[in-house]
Amino acid sequence: MELVLFEPEIPPNTGNVARLCAAAGVRLNLVEPLGFSLDEKHLRRAGLDYWPHVDVHVLPGREALTAHAAGRRLVLSSARRGERFDRFVYRADDLLVLGPETRGLPEDLFAAHPDHVRIPIRGVVRSLNLSTAAGVLLYTALAATGLLPD
């Protein structure tokens, strides 16, 4: 199982997701363009001392994501569409994909990949924070597939 941030924009959110992936032992894929720099100086300044323990791969755009996922399923997340996250049937080799903070995943990506999950949200809240949503989805999927670390 892998986590994918598609064109992430906010460095602290990506840092939180990176920590999540390090803790779970899951690869983090970042699809460019990124809204920030990943150079060592910026990472050190952000206090990401766990970064060496993150299996992170930067993919240069959507085509690279498609090539990386060859033969595997992309499970797209949304605040408004798809099967409820706790009812979805996950697979051990799924790539869980979350979109950019300000606009979500593009419509044509949803059209190309039929597997969508959503986290129900009550009231007037538009969406969950990206790192919160990533944690909910990743740990649910890991537990459902028996991949949750001890």
| pLDDT for res 123 | 79
Domain-embedded: residue 132: yes
Q: Where are the beta strands (DSSP E) in 79-134?
A: 83-84, 95-98, 116-118
Q: What is the CATH number of the domain that holds 7?
A: 3.40.1280.10
Question: Cα separation of 81 and 68, whole Å?
Answer: 25
Domain-embedded: residue 78: yes
> What mean pLDDT comes out for the span 19-43?
85
Q: How many domains does the chain have?
A: 1
pLDDT tens-digit series, residues 107-150? 999 999 999 999 999 878 888 999 999 999 999 999 999 999 88
> What mean pLDDT comes out for the span 11-40?
89
Contact 7, 34 (CB under 8 A): yes
pLDDT tens-digit series, residues 64-103? 999 999 999 999 999 889 999 999 999 999 999 999 999 9
- Does 47 have pLDDT greater than 60? no
| Helix residue spans in the chain (DSSP H) | 11-24, 40-45, 62-68, 107-112, 130-144
Range of the domain at 41: 2-144
Domain-embedded: residue 150: no
